[in-house]
Structure 1
Amino acid sequence: MNDAPPKTPSTIVKVLQFLGTAMVCLTILGVSVAAIIVINQTEPKAQQIEATRKSAAIVETVTVEKGTYSPTLVVLGTVQAAQEITLSPRVSGQVTSISPKFVPGGMVKKDDFLLQIDPADFENTISVRESELQQAMASLEIERGRQSLAKKELALLEGTIDEANRALVLREPQVESIQAEVNAAQAAIERARLDLTRTSIAAPFDSQILNRRVNVGSQVSPGADLARLVGIDEYWIMASVPVRSLKWIQFPEQDGRSSLVTLRDPDTWPSGVERYASVSRMIGSLDQQTRLARVLIVVADPLALKSDVPPLILDTLIETHIEGRPIEDVVRLKREYVHNRDTVWVMKDNKLEIREASVVFRDATYAYIDEGLESGDEVVITTLATVATGIGLKKIDSSTAPQSEEARD
């Protein structure tokens, strides 16, 4: 008889362990589901209520007015000499003397003596040329005497000499040849005298000596570099301006007047010190490196010889404030009061209005607005923590301390 073998005790234990584990898991799962249901049923529900401000934001405002304003273009410029030459001699020789003013940094007037080249050779040349002239003139007198005798002989032979030979008989070619020698001798004397005057070198214009490359005893010749001179009547400033800003600058050739320029050098000059200049013309090409337009500014009396302002130094960078063409019927507002997307905050009836503004031009300090603001509008200049149309505002007064953020409840 085939009976099934009885289960061993180890198998029974395993079955009981599995059943126990399953019961525990089901119990935990049931308790978790029940807890979630209870939490969801007892969770408080948020109710939306209408909140109103208990106090208005305390702000500071500025009242704007429409008018005609001139923008200011602030750019950098390089100081350059308006007149600059390399001084060279026109004759050769040895330098025998030099003026005490002929030193680097020295100031000289037009026709002031600078240096002397040894004139001895040129004086000797004049003596030689004068002797040649005297000899040529003596020859001319002799030939004229011969011509006088020829005229008497021709009178005796009247009618026997044809016109073709008449000039030869009267020695006219000989006289003309010697006359040419006299003229050449006179020209040689003039040239020698001119060379003698060129041994004394003078300043060609009112100038400052930047450097000197010659001393007493130096041997010089035409084309040699004696010194570098710059004119002191005016300097130029070459300013780089964005091409889009050229339309706001006034040029004398186009507009009949030039834009006023204020010069500042905060790193070198005392605080508040300014110099003034004027726009002369626009250079007809862009700077190859910066691709900016170049504007020529003229500064009179650059070394301040007639005033007590600081002198200009060549090749330095200087801050130029160019007064632009006047813009009519606009509001001028500081740039920081124009916010994102060209909006301005306006206080009207103690509430905030956010207006879109049409900005015609921006300079370094101001924005010029032709639409969006009118005369009498009060622009909010206080920084607000909350910006929304219609929020309540309160204008600051003497009894309220200034705040940079809106008042909180």
Structure 2
Amino acid sequence: MSRTRVARKLAPLLILAAAIVGFLVLRATGPSAPPPEASERAWQVRGIAVDPALNRPTLQLYGRTSSPQTATLRAAIEGEIASVPVRAGAIAEAEALLVRIDAEETLLNLAQREAEWNEATAAVQSERVRAEADAQALVRERALVQIAQRGLARARDLRARDLGSDAAVDDAQRSLEQARLAVDARERAVADAPSRLAQAEAREARLRAAVERARLDLNRAEIRADANCRVVEVHVTPGERVRVGDPLVRLYALDALEIRASLPEVVLPRITRLLAQEQPLPAEGSVAGQPIRAELVRLAGETREGEAGISALFRVTEGAGDLPLNRFVNLQLRLPEEPDSIAVPFEALYGRDRVYRVVDARLQGLQVERLGEITDAEGQTRALIRHPELESGDVLAATRLPNAVDGLQVEVEMNSTAETR
């Protein structure tokens, strides 16, 4: 009874063990599958055919208008504002009246200065006449001294012969001394004449300058534009009283209007070289449908806060009247023609100046020279590059691959547009 129970319990275990042994035997004696061969993935990329040619690159720049000749005109005299013919935003031609200050007070000051000048001129003439008269009087007074000396000699001779008195000698002596005192005083006057004349002439010159200053102030009662300009702000109104130094209007010269735009670092060395060679660098743009023409004249001397690189300064040669200060402007800078340059889509660029050439279905990295941009016949903007190893017929990868490295296997699908060109 007990053996039968044990046999029943062991039977399933024995069957399971026999099945496992049979599976292992079959696995060990069966045919083995060959190991799978490792295969390298080929990445799909779009390719463009290289066609070096003579192209003229351009650069899309974004800047704002500014002017180095922005000025705030201030009152040079004190008075009431008589009229303000201009308004903010108006364009004023050269010599156009901007502000007029009532000149009544200035006219009175001019009349006073002219009267003082006339008085000083008369004083100079008086000193000259006085000097001439003193010189003539000195001659006569010296003659009187000689006469007095002879009179004293006669009085002494008469007294010596008991024909004259001591009183007569004293009178003659007194007359001689008085004549000598008169000569001394006249000699001092003659000697002092150049100094008195110089003082009078200096006072006349000072008052003449005061008259000229008053006349200048009279001219300053009318504030006019020195050149064609645009009014930015007007600080006064008619009837308002201003003092010397008070601001009147703020304006800028139209012929000095500039556009300040930041240059990409990749073209900065080339722009610097072209400026040193005095190559013309024209630029075009438009504002509100009005054409704008400018010319790159210099590079900025400092990098302002918030700017990424060096700024270029363009002198506006056409359309300055349509540009207020601080207006945003989109410019297209035209650079000189470049031989052996290649137009590629921006997808072909990795970073700023790296492309991949396809050689035997594998990528080969090249460091290229960025020359700018160009717009093709279809209106698409492309990057213009150059490399001495790139020849006509070479293929560049025009698809951005996140894992692009030298030697990466690719499968190229040629761009029909590139092949047609």
User: Aligned-pair distance for 1:286?
Assistant: 2.9
Amino acid at match of 2:19: V
Amino acid at match of 1:227: V
Amino acid at match of 1:115: V
Rate the CA distance shift 1:344–1:190 in 2: closer, same or farther, 3 A. Answer: same
Rate the CA distance shift 1:24–1:199 in 2: closer, same or farther, 3 A. Answer: same
Rate the CA distance shift 1:164–1:374 in 2: closer, same or farther, 3 A. Answer: farther
Identify which of 265, 275, 281 aligns with 1:259: 281
Amino acid at match of 1:168: A
Alpha-carbon distance between aligned partners in 1 of 2:356 and 2:95, rounded to the nearest angstrom:
64
Rate the CA distance shift 1:167–1:34 in 2: closer, same or farther, 3 A. Answer: farther
Map of 2:356 onto structure 1: 343
Map of 1:127 onto structure 2: 111
**Highest CA radius of gyration, 1 or 2?**
2
Percent identity at matched positions? 20
Q: Is the Cα contact below 8 Å between 1:90 and 1:198 reproduced in 2?
A: yes
Which structure 1 residue ranges, 5 or more long, are not aligned?
1-8, 50-58, 306-310, 403-409
Map of 1:5 onto structure 2: none
**1:283-322 matched pairs, under 5 angstroms:** 283-303=300-320, 305=321, 311-322=322-333
Alpha-carbon distance between aligned partners in 2 of 1:371 and 1:177, rounded to the nearest angstrom:
84
SS of the equivalent of 1:216 reads coil
Amino acid at match of 1:329: D
Which structure 2 residue ranges, 5 or more long, are not aligned?
38-44, 146-179, 374-381, 401-406
Amino acid at match of 1:169: V
User: Aligned-pair distance for 1:47?
Assistant: 10
Map of 2:270 onto structure 1: 248
Alpha-carbon distance between aligned partners in 2 of 1:211 and 1:329, rounded to the nearest angstrom:
52
Identify which of 177, 182, 190 aligns with 1:169: 190
Q: Is the Cα contact below 8 Å between 1:330 and 1:369 reproduced in 2?
A: yes
Q: Is the Cα contact below 8 Å between 2:74 and 2:249 reproduced in 1?
A: yes
User: Aligned-pair distance for 1:81?
Assistant: 2.1
Alpha-carbon distance between aligned partners in 1 of 2:48 and 2:26, rounded to the nearest angstrom:
60
Rate the CA distance shift 1:392–1:281 in 2: closer, same or farther, 3 A. Answer: closer
TM-score (norm 1): 0.71
Alpha-carbon distance between aligned partners in 1 of 2:92 and 2:52, rounded to the nearest angstrom:
53
User: Aligned-pair distance for 1:107?
Assistant: 1.1
CA RMSD of aligned residues (A): 4.3
User: Aligned-pair distance for 1:211?
Assistant: 1.4
User: Aligned-pair distance for 1:229?
Assistant: 0.5
SS of the equivalent of 2:238 reads coil
Map of 2:345 onto structure 1: 334
SS of the equivalent of 2:300 reads strand
SS of the equivalent of 1:137 reads helix
Rate the CA distance shift 1:165–1:288 in 2: closer, same or farther, 3 A. Answer: farther
Matched, 1:205 2:189: no
Q: Is the Cα contact below 8 Å between 1:357 and 1:369 reproduced in 2?
A: no
Alpha-carbon distance between aligned partners in 2 of 1:281 and 1:353, rounded to the nearest angstrom:
45
User: Aligned-pair distance for 1:233?
Assistant: 1.9
TM-score (norm 2): 0.69
User: Aligned-pair distance for 1:96?
Assistant: 1.4
Q: Is the Cα contact below 8 Å between 1:61 and 1:378 reproduced in 2?
A: no
Matched, 1:24 2:12: yes
User: Aligned-pair distance for 1:181?
Assistant: 2.6
Alpha-carbon distance between aligned partners in 2 of 1:78 and 1:144, rounded to the nearest angstrom:
67
